[in-house]
Chain A
């Protein structure tokens, strides 16, 4: 292991152990160390956003310079990023710029993401249609029937409103008992997986930092 990797591993393991111990043992020095480390993590996370944005800029700049496919959209992205970044920097000091910032959000980002959400609804509908064609299994059938029942119980049907028995009994039972219990079981498994993953990081066996 290189020296860089050794140092980074030691730092990561030590910080993890301190934060972990701070959750269980409320000793004064541990609590203060815990808070200090968390504060550093917050700062680093915020700074990482800047690094991420720089990475985004570099990637799309490369696309433009290499004239790859979709380089025009990359150019638009670069321009929008730079403009938005400038507006965001100036917004606290100029009310008009601040309004421009809000407008850009409401007029561009919000409708685009909402459209993507609407597209997701279409995608999911198509996927549900094709589910049994692609994977005709018992679980797929159960999956699809459950989805239909939830939709039927949730939707205000024209001229009918709530579907008797389905809306007041079947749907709540499925959503709050069957689905919730199943989801809880899945989440317990996910939590166990997260626990072991975190311990692997803590042991230093998984090191997504500083090399092998």
Chain B
């Protein structure tokens, strides 16, 4: 193992350890208190949309994208699953249980498990095994399979949170045609560009990872968000310092 590799490995381990420590520290220090975060209009609109759909008895649709769990895109899929769990709890008082679509098989299984747990906890709605479904294994087949769910199943709010490509534009366009609320976030840059142009409420960058904290999923979500903020400032300082040293010819 080369020296650079060892250095990078240690640096990565340090970042992971620091992040874990920050998260644990914030979670323990704050307890159940939720810190105040900056306002993100997408989550405000989501809150209203959830209230409306519970009131009018329509359905929530959460699409988790096609990020494989064993890839880096799996993180965004897991963030989508966390939000799905929270929203499933919130909409358990509605007439229609939420549905979750995904473009990855393992993700579909996990979405079924999540919805089943939410149904068991709420004890108000019976779990429908078809609520968590796989719609396609390629990006556009996945999008083509999701569009009928948005259009035909009395959906009034569509949440796209996961790893999407540019095909997300087809989903947001379908949501707009169905006159439903659409909130979308992806870890893919091209997808973020098209989402910005097509979704009613786009989530840019790491905002999608803040969904759990904004939805009140728990203190650990809030702590992880605070840890992200601190790490971001550390990285900013390091980059500026590195650029300055480089410009000075030291590095």
Contact = CB atoms under 8 A, between A and B. Distances in A.
B215 interface: no
Given A23-B9, A62-B130, A196-B227, A186 B197 contact: no
Interface stretch (B30-38, B55-63, B188-196): B188-196
B232 A192 contact: yes
Given A58-B129, A188-B235, A196-B224, A20 B16 contact: yes
Contact of A194 (B70, B72, B113, B129): B72
Given A124-B197, A199-B16, A49 B117 contact: no
* Interface secondary structure of B, over-half rule: helix
B183 interface: no
A191 B72 CA distance: 9
B209 A52 contact: no
B209 A73 contact: no
A191 B231 CA distance: 11
A51 B206 contact: no
Q: How large is the interface on A (under 10, 10 to 19, 20 to 34, 35 or more residues)?
A: 35 or more
Which secondary structure dominates chain A's binding surface? helix
A24 B9 contact: yes
A127 B197 contact: yes
B202 to A, nearest CB: 10
Nearest to B82: A206
B218 A205 contact: yes
Interface in B37-85: 68-70, 72, 75-76, 78-79, 81-82, 85
Interface of B: 1, 9-10, 12-13, 15-16, 19-20, 23-24, 68-70, 72, 75-76, 78-79, 81-82, 85, 104-106, 108-110, 112-114, 117, 120-121, 129-130, 132-135, 137-138, 140-141, 143-145, 148, 152, 166-167, 169-170, 173, 187, 189, 192, 194, 196-198, 204-206, 208-210, 212, 218, 220-221, 224-225, 227-228, 231-232, 235
A195 B140 CA distance: 28
Interface string A117-129: 1011001101110
Interface string A24-35: 111000000000
Contacts of B218: 205
A123 B105 contact: no
A119 B139 CA distance: 14
B198 A127 contact: yes
A73 B148 contact: yes
A201 B212 CA distance: 13
Nearest to B110: A208
B189 A113 contact: no
Contacts of B113: 208-211
Interface of A: 20, 23-26, 41-42, 44-45, 48-53, 55-56, 58-59, 62, 68-70, 73, 109, 112-113, 116-117, 119-120, 123-124, 126-128, 131, 143, 183, 185-203, 205-206, 208-212
Given A23-B9, A191-B72, 14 more contacts: A25-B9, A55-B109, A126-B173, A193-B206, A193-B210, A195-B16, A195-B19, A195-B75, A197-B79, A202-B20, A203-B220, A206-B220, A208-B81, A212-B121
A41 to B, nearest CB: 5
Contacts of A25: 9
A35 to B, nearest CB: 14
Given A52-B104, A201-B78, A208-B78, A192 B117 contact: no
B166 A26 contact: no
B148 A56 contact: no
Contact of A52 (B15, B108, B148, B170): B108
Contacts of A45: 68-70, 105-106
B189 A212 contact: no
A53 B109 CA distance: 11
A197 B10 contact: no
A132 to B, nearest CB: 10
Contacts of B9: 23-25
